[in-house]
């Protein structure tokens, strides 16, 4: 039998991968190690190049995904800052409008500060939506776990208009807006309107 790589020589062994006949020149010196023909060596080298290329592609994809996640986090933060600012402004205006000091707030009731109560209910609605995956059917569901006891009672909930256009959406507004000019705020799952 002739060598697959040197047709003018007799085979002395075979390729460990494809069993092609190999001559003494093609076999490893001293018979140690596996003998491999040029064709199989080329295939192994190509396989290593493909493997490294796949690893590099996966690494590039992971970096791209990390950048996209960072952009999403930044976008969420950019949306939350104006919402937080609006909430703070509303609360400060409530205190200024009612002439209440911070120390007096523990004795306040929802009926005395409907705008502050609406901000608290909106926070409870957001927390409920985050935990439960949908908005509640009615506001009374929030009383047990999501609203502070003593400040908002079930009878206080009549001061608000609440609707649920879809399971993950809600709208909350005062049934009778305060006499503050231009106050027509509606809270939604996406923030105040």
Q: Where are the alpha helices (DSSP H) in the chain?
A: 38-98, 114-132
Q: Per-residue pLDDT for the chain (193 aa), expressed as one digit of tens each?
A: 899 888 899 988 888 889 889 888 888 776 666 788 888 888 888 888 888 887 888 888 888 888 898 888 887 777 777 777 777 777 776 666 555 444 444 555 777 778 788 888 888 898 899 999 999 999 998 987 888 777 788 888 898 999 999 999 999 988 887 665 556 788 888 888 7
For residues 15 and 37, the answer to whether their CB atoms sit within 8 Å is: yes
Angle at 193 between CA 132 and CA 111, to 5 degrees: 75
Domain residue limits, the chain:
72-192
For residues 5 and 37, the answer to whether their CB atoms sit within 8 Å is: yes
Using DSSP's 3-state secondary structure scheme, residue 174 falls into: strand
């Amino acid at each position: 039998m002739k060598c697959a790589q040197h047709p003018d020589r007799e085979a002395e062994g075979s390729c460990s991968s494809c069993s092609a006949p190999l001559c003494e020149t093609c076999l490893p010196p001293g018979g140690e190690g596996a003998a491999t023909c040029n064709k199989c060596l080329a295939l192994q080298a190509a396989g290593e190049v493909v493997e490294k290329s796949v690893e590099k592609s996966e690494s590039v994809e992971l970096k791209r995904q990390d950048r996209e996640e960072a952009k999403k986090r930044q976008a969420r933060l950019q949306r939350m800052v104006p919402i937080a600012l609006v909430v703070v402004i509303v609360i400060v205006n409530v205190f200024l409008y009612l002439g209440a000091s911070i120390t007096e707030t523990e004795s306040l009731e929802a009926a005395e500060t409907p705008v502050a109560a609406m901000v608290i209910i909106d926070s409870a609605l957001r927390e409920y939506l985050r935990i439960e995956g949908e908005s509640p059917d009615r506001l009374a569901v929030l009383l047990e776990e999501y609203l502070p006891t003593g400040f908002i009672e079930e009878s206080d909930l009549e001061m608000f208009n609440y609707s649920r256009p879809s399971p993950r959406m809600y709208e909350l507004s005062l049934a009778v807006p305060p006499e503050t000019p231009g106050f027509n705020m509606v809270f939604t799952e996406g923030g105040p309107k």
